[in-house]
Amino acid sequence: MPNWLKDAVFYEIYPQSFKDTNGDGIGDIQGIIEKLDYVKDLGCNALWINPIYDSPFKDGGYDVRDYKKVAERYGTNEDAYRLFEVAHNKGIHVLLDLVPGHTSEEHPWFQESKKAEENEYTDRYVWTKCWFHGIAGHPYVGGEADRDGCYMLNFFKCQPALNYGFLNRTEEWQLPPDHPACIATREAMKDIMRFWLDHGCDGFRVDMADSLVKDDDESKSATGKIWRNIREMLDKEYPEASIISEWSNPWQALKNGFHSDFYLDHQRNGYNTLLRDYETEGGDHSFLKKDGQGDIMRFLNDYLPKYKDTKEDGYISFITCNHDTPRPARTLSPAELKIAYAMFLTLPGVPFIYYGDEIGMKYLDIPTKEGGYTRTGTRTPMQWDSSKNYGFSDASEDKLYLPQDKSVDAPTVEAQLADETSLLSEVKRLIALRHEYADLQADGSFEVVFAQKNQFPFIFKRGELIVGINPSDKAVSLKLPVKGEIIHKIGDVSFDREELKMDAQTFVVIK
Percent of the chain predicted with pLDDT > 90? 97
- The per-residue pLDDT of the chain, averaged, comes to 97
pLDDT of residue 110: 98
Banded model confidence at residue 155, pLDDT cuts 50, 70, 90: very high
Contact 185, 124 (CB under 8 A): yes
pLDDT of residue 452: 97
Domain ranges of the chain: 5-101+181-438, 102-163, 445-510
Interstrand relation of 447-450 and 458-462 (parallel, antiparallel or unpaired): antiparallel
The 8-class DSSP code of residue 36 comes to H
User: What beta strand segments (E) does 195-323 contain?
Assistant: 203-206, 242-245, 260-262, 315-317
What is the mean predicted confidence (pLDDT) over 293-299?
96
Residues in Cβ contact with 161 at an 8 Å cutoff, skipping those fewer than 6 apart = 101, 102, 125, 126, 138, 151, 152, 153, 154, 214
Closest listed residue to residue 27, CA positions, set 308, 410, 401, 489: 401
As a dihedral over the C-alpha atoms of residue 154, residue 155, residue 157, residue 163, rounded to 10 degrees, the angle is -10
Q: Is the pLDDT of residue 113 over 90?
A: yes
Q: 445-510: which CATH topology?
A: Immunoglobulin-like (2.60.40)
pLDDT tens string 301-328: 999 999 999 999 999 999 999 999 999 9
Distances in Å between the Cα of 308 and the Cα atoms of 7, 107, 251 are 20, 42, 10
Read off the pTM: 0.97
Asked, colleague to colleague, whether 102-163 and 445-510 share their fold, the answer is no
Count CB neighbours of 257 within 10 A.
Answer: 23
pLDDT tens string 370-417: 999 999 999 999 999 999 999 999 999 999 999 999 999 999 999 999
Q: Is the pLDDT of residue 280 over 80?
A: no
Q: 102-163: which CATH topology?
A: Oligo-1,6-glucosidase; domain 2 (3.90.400)
Element (H, E) at 465: strand 465-470
Q: Return the bridge partners of 214, or none.
A: 166
Residues in Cβ contact with 314 at an 8 Å cutoff, skipping those fewer than 6 apart = 1, 250, 253, 254, 258, 259, 260, 261
Contact 274, 262 (CB under 8 A): no
Cα–Cα distance measured from residue 435 to residue 7, given in angstroms and rounded to the nearest whole number: 6
Q: 5-101+181-438: which CATH topology?
A: TIM Barrel (3.20.20)
